[in-house]
């Protein structure tokens, strides 16, 4: 049997198997809504990881994020009120057709996924960031981040979980919120005087826990 | 001499072309996908047509990710019988170019006369695309192109694919994610998702009217390749965003001319030509690294006046490729490299008097480093080389296109500068410099032409909308 014959058989068998797989889906007993949600999770997972833990810091981890925050952000993408560059490039399209059922289903799913593990970095920077997170910067009237985001940065309802989040993602959010490309009324006041080195310290700390 | 000669004329020419025109060959940016997904070009491309990791996922998933209203249908057992976009994902590509070679080319009809120095093509190409979802899991990239130089309209790169996503048990609750797919396409490697393989490899756009080297490997889309003259059916698997494996079988499907194919056609595949591909990709932070291999086994009749029976020419291509991408906030860097080795056994060409050696080989190397700042300005430095055994008949002397010493050896470099005022508009300045062309540096063709006479300045406006 030469290579031509082998490849023909491989392709033939695979095409047949795919046809069977497709057929199995059609007669699958899974409720249609669950199947649709599963498919949506797969789509989100392309960037965010099916388990909510993403590889690229362009895309935030969603695992263990608070459900109310995920819901609020999906609504903000859908109605285009969150308008920072990446939101427009990626999420306006992705969220545009999501139903209320899908939004709550996605929020429920990702909030239940195991949290990403912290990643160590520059210890000096992390210590500086921890101080800002826990105590704020009194001299600049910057309150402690932990006040809203929780002592372990675990999030609290509409206030997002920050622990274990990619530092470059968090830094980008701080910058676009400060420049009002992303609307976040509470945060605008809180971080208006936060300097970039302070941001870099606090996001290094958050990524590490 | 050629270089300074070009540069003197460069700025005024560019200004004239300015914002009025678009780009070249081949053409691939597809706003159809942006229309279907609602996502900006930047989601799938660093700078078009090069794909980001997300762009690769989009393609591997069958081009079906959609975020626009669907027209759907089900039967009485709730099987989905229709799912199409309410608006078709169509788009257009316009390319306008200016090519100038180091020395003018000979007149095609009058011996001793010269063709016009410089070639404006308006258009170089105009393409229409349907690119996107056809049904649940089924999508297509279909390109129809009008070629200005050839005054020809036809089917360009086409890839129709079905993909099915499976999750199955892994350790610690981390499921394995598997995409299984089928591809139906008309150009080996057009289905590939890395920009190291020929169909979508660098240079992304180059002059269609400047002289090109006398030969290239069969799996390459260049001279003597199978691009748009074959049809192939293949299957692929993509596991855990790491492992890719594919096998596709091709047969000749030559547009126009005699059908069924006969002796008046050229380069006709005998039986089927299997193409194979394996790749591994690792992603970390903002980086991705791919290492892979691919190949093509083709047995072909030379045709061109000889019957499609009897001995054939056999080509075995094996290639290795590597791609590294860094996608930062403001800085984008890519390295693309491939090496193709082709073994030829030319039983038919020997018999028909087209080749002097029964066995020949070709080794091709391409390497390109790209940098872009904010997807706004950037450029590429590239090196290319083709080396092979000499064959006085296969690589015969001929004005411009031939080889005086029967050698296919060609090598050179490409320098490219790009400015993208918008993500879907690229203003490209490309300079191709040849150190060796068809086996020589001076009088390579036996008609007094030097390799550097083929150095090419190529200005291109590429607009996709």
Question: By the 8 A CB rule, do A70 and A57 touch?
Answer: no
Does domain A123-208 fall under CATH 3.40.50.1980? My reply is: no
Q: Does B245 touch chain A (CB under 8 A)?
A: no
Residue B76 has what pLDDT?
86
Q: How confident is the model at residue A23 (pLDDT cuts 50, 70, 90)?
A: very low
Q: How confident is the model at residue A15 (pLDDT cuts 50, 70, 90)?
A: low
Residue A18 has what pLDDT?
55
What share of chain B has pLDDT > 90, as a percent? 79
pTM for the structure as a whole = 0.88
Residue A2 has what pLDDT?
59
Task: Give the tokens for residue A4.
Answer: 């031509």
Closest CA–CA distance from residue A109 to any residue of chain B (Å): 14
Q: Does A21 touch chain B (CB under 8 A)?
A: yes
**Tally of domains in chain B:** 1
Q: What are the residue ranges spanned by the domains of chain A?
A: 123-208
More confident site: B79 or B450: B450
Close Cβ partners of A161 (under 8 Å, ≥ 6 residues apart): A64, A65, A66, A69, A115, A149, A150, A153, A154, A155
Q: Does A50 touch chain B (CB under 8 A)?
A: yes
More confident site: B160 or A41: B160
CB contact under 8 A, A11 and B247: yes
CB contact under 8 A, A3 and B286: no
Q: Does B8 touch chain A (CB under 8 A)?
A: no
Using the structure block, give the residue that is written with the tokens 């054939």.
Answer: B312
Q: How far is CA A48 from CA A42, A110, B135, B284, in A?
A: 9, 10, 25, 13
Burial tier of B64 (Cβ tally within 10 Å: 0-12, 13-18, 19+): buried
Task: Give the tokens for residue A182.
Answer: 């992303």
Q: How far is CA B366 from CA B97, B197, B381, B456, in A?
A: 24, 10, 11, 18
CB contact under 8 A, A7 and B276: yes
Handedness of CA B450, B380, B199, B189 (dihedral sign): positive
Residue B120 has what pLDDT?
98
CB contact under 8 A, A18 and B182: yes
Task: Give the tokens for residue B158.
Answer: 């086409």
Residue of B nearest to A21 (CA): B164
Burial A7-16 (b: 16+ CB within 10 A, else e): bbebbeebbe
Residue A5 has what pLDDT?
66
Q: What is the ipTM of this complex?
A: 0.81
CA distance linking residue B114 with residue B400, whole number of Å? 12
Q: Does A121 touch chain B (CB under 8 A)?
A: no
Residue A125 has what pLDDT?
95
pLDDT tens digits, one per residue of B278-308: 999 999 888 999 999 999 999 999 999 999 9
Residue B156 has what pLDDT?
94
Q: Does A181 touch chain B (CB under 8 A)?
A: no
pLDDT tens digits, one per residue of B103-151: 999 999 999 999 999 999 999 999 999 999 999 899 999 999 999 999 9
CA distance linking residue B30 with residue B157, whole number of Å? 12
Chain B interface disruption, residue of A4, A85, A165, most B CBs within 10 A? A4
CB contact under 8 A, B329 and A89: no
Residues within 8 A of A (CB atoms), B 175-214 only? 175, 177, 180-182
Question: By the 8 A CB rule, do B403 and B395 touch?
Answer: yes
Please state which of the ranges A174-188, B30-44, B368-382, B433-447 shows the lowest mean pLDDT.
B30-44
Residues within 8 A of A (CB atoms), B 248-277 only? 248-249, 271-272, 274, 276
Which residues is B327 bridged to in the sheet?
A: B332
Residue A12 has what pLDDT?
63
Residue B221 has what pLDDT?
75
Residue A36 has what pLDDT?
82
Average pLDDT taken over every residue of chain B: 91
Q: For B227-253, what is the mean pLDDT?
A: 96
CA distance linking residue B182 with residue B15, whole number of Å? 46
Q: How confident is the model at residue B17 (pLDDT cuts 50, 70, 90)?
A: very low
Please state which of the ranges A72-81, B26-35, B359-368 shows the lowest mean pLDDT.
B26-35
What share of chain B has pLDDT > 70, as a percent? 93
Task: Name chain A contacts of B40, Cβ cutoff 8 Å.
Answer: 88-90
Q: Which of B38, B54, B233 minimises the CB distance to A92?
A: B38
Burial tier of B355 (Cβ tally within 10 Å: 0-12, 13-18, 19+): buried
Residues within 8 A of A (CB atoms), B 276-335 only? 276, 283-286, 297, 327, 329
What DSSP letter does each residue of A157-188 carry, written as one string?
A: TTBPP-TT--HHHHHHHHHHHHTTSS--HHHH
Q: Does A134 touch chain B (CB under 8 A)?
A: no
Q: Which of B53, B247, B286 minimises the CB distance to A10?
A: B247
Which residues is B345 bridged to in the sheet?
A: B314, B359
Q: For B189-201, what is the mean pLDDT?
A: 97
Closest CA–CA distance from residue B434 to any residue of chain A (Å): 38
Q: Which of B39, B241, B274 minimises the CB distance to A4?
A: B274
CB contact under 8 A, A7 and B175: no
Closest CA–CA distance from residue A138 to any residue of chain B (Å): 31
Q: For B219-239, what is the mean pLDDT?
A: 91
DSSP reduced 3-state for A3: helix
Q: Does B40 touch chain A (CB under 8 A)?
A: yes
Does the pLDDT of residue B425 top 70, yes or no?
yes
Using the structure block, give the residue that is written with the tokens 């789509």.
Answer: A43
Q: Does B53 touch chain A (CB under 8 A)?
A: yes
Close Cβ partners of A131 (under 8 Å, ≥ 6 residues apart): none
Q: Which domain holds residue B144?
A: 2-464
CA max distance for chain A: 80
Please state which of the ranges A39-48, B193-202, B208-217, B263-272 shows the lowest mean pLDDT.
A39-48
DSSP reduced 3-state for B79: coil
CB contact under 8 A, B297 and A96: no
Residue A11 has what pLDDT?
67
Please state which of the ranges B23-32, B158-167, B411-420 shows the lowest mean pLDDT.
B23-32
Question: By the 8 A CB rule, do A113 and A63 touch?
Answer: yes
Closest alpha carbon to B315 in B255, B279, B271: B271
CATH number of the domain enclosing B173: 2.40.160.10
Q: For A159-183, what is the mean pLDDT?
A: 95
Question: By the 8 A CB rule, do A56 and A169 touch?
Answer: no
Q: Does A10 touch chain B (CB under 8 A)?
A: yes
Q: Does A17 touch chain B (CB under 8 A)?
A: yes
Residue B343 has what pLDDT?
98
Question: By the 8 A CB rule, do B278 and B239 touch?
Answer: no
Task: Name chain A contacts of B53, Cβ cutoff 8 Å.
Answer: 56
H/E stretch holding A131 reads: helix A123-135
Residue of B nearest to A47 (CA): B54
CA distance linking residue B306 with residue B300, whole number of Å? 12
Chain B interface disruption, residue of A20, A33, A55, A91, most B CBs within 10 A? A55
Closest alpha carbon to B219 in B144, B149, B321: B321
Closest CA–CA distance from residue B271 to any residue of chain A (Å): 8
CB contact under 8 A, B272 and A51: no
DSSP reduced 3-state for B349: helix
Q: Where are the alpha helices (DSSP H) in B313-418?
A: 347-352
Closest CA–CA distance from residue A201 to any residue of chain B (Å): 19
Using the structure block, give the residue that is written with the tokens 């279907």.
Answer: B36
Q: For B50-54, what is the mean pLDDT?
A: 94
Please count the CA atoms within 13 angstroms of the CA of A170 that sit on its side-chain side: 25
Q: For B355-361, what is the mean pLDDT?
A: 96
């Amino acid at each position: 049997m030469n290579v031509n014959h082998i490849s023909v058989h491989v392709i033939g068998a695979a095409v047949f198997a795919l046809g069977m797989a497709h057929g199995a889906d059609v007669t699958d007993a899974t409720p249609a809504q669950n199947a649709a949600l599963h498919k949506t999770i797969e789509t989100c997972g392309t960037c965010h990881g099916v388990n909510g833990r993403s590889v690229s810091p362009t895309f935030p981890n969603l695992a263990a994020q608070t459900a109310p925050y995920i819901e609020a952000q999906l609504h903000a993408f859908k109605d285009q009120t969150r308008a920072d560059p990446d939101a427009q490039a990626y999420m306006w399209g992705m969220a545009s057709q999501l139903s209320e059922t899908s939004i709550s289903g996605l929020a429920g799913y990702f909030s239940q996924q195991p949290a990403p593990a912290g990643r160590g970095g520059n210890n000096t920077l992390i210590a500086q960031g921890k101080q800002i997170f826990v105590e704020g910067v009194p001299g600049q009237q910057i309150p402690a981040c932990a006040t809203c985001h929780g002592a372990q940065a675990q999030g609290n309802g509409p206030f997002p979980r920050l622990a274990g989040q990619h530092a470059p993602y968090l830094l980008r959010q701080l910058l676009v919120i400060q420049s009002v490309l992303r609307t976040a009324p509470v945060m605008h006041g809180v971080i208006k005087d936060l300097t970039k080195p302070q941001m870099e310290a606090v996001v290094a700390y958050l990524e590490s826990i | 001499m050629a270089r300074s000669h070009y540069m003197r004329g460069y700025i005024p020419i560019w200004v004239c072309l300015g914002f009025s025109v678009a780009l070249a060959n081949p053409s691939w940016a597809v706003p159809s996908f942006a229309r279907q997904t609602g996502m900006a070009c930047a989601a799938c491309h660093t700078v078009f047509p090069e794909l980001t990791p997300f762009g690769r996922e989009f393609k591997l998933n069958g081009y079906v990710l959609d975020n626009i209203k669907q027209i759907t249908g089900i039967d009485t057992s709730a099987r989905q019988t229709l799912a199409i976009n309410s608006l078709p994902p169509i788009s257009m590509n316009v390319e306008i170019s200016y090519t100038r070679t180091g020395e003018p080319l000979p007149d095609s009809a009058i011996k001793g006369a010269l063709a016009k120095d410089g070639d404006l093509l308006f258009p170089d190409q105009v393409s229409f695309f349907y690119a996107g979802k056809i049904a649940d899991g089924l999508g297509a990239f279909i390109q129809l192109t009008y070629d200005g130089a050839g005054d020809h309209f036809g089917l360009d790169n086409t890839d129709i694919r079905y993909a099915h996503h499976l999750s199955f048990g892994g350790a610690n609750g981390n499921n394995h994610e598997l995409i299984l797919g089928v591809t139906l396409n008309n150009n080996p490697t057009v289905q590939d998702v890395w920009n190291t393989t020929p169909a979508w490899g660098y240079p992304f756009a180059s002059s269609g009217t400047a002289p090109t080297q006398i030969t290239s490997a069969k799996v390459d889309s260049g001279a003597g390749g199978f691009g748009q003259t074959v049809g192939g059916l293949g299957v692929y698997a993509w596991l855990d965003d790491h492992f890719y494996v594919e096998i596709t079988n091709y047969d000749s499907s030559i547009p126009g001319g005699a059908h069924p194919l006969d002796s008046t056609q050229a380069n006709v595949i005998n039986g089927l030509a299997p193409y194979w591909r394996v790749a591994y990709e690792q992603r970390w932070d903002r980086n991705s690294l791919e290492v892979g291999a691919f190949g093509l086994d083709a047995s072909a009749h030379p045709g061109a006046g000889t019957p499609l029976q009897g001995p054939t020419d056999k080509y075995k291509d094996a290639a290795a490729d590597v791609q590294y991408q860094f996608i930062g906030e403001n800085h984008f860097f890519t390295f693309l490299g491939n090496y193709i080795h082709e073994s030829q056994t030319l039983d038919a060409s020997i018999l028909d008097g087209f080749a002097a050696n029964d066995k020949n080989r070709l080794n091709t190397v391409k390497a390109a480093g790209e940098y872009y700042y904010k997807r706004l300005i950037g450029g590429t430095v590239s090196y290319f080389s083709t080396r092979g055994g000499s064959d006085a008949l296969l690589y015969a002397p001929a004005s411009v296109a031939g080889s005086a010493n029967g050698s296919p050896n060609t090598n050179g470099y490409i320098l490219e500068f790009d400015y993208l005022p918008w993500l879907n508009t690229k203003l490209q300045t490309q300079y191709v410099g040849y150190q060796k062309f068809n086996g020589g540096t001076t009088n390579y063709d036996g008609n007094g032409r030097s390799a550097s006479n083929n150095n090419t300045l190529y200005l291109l406006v590429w607009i996709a909308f």
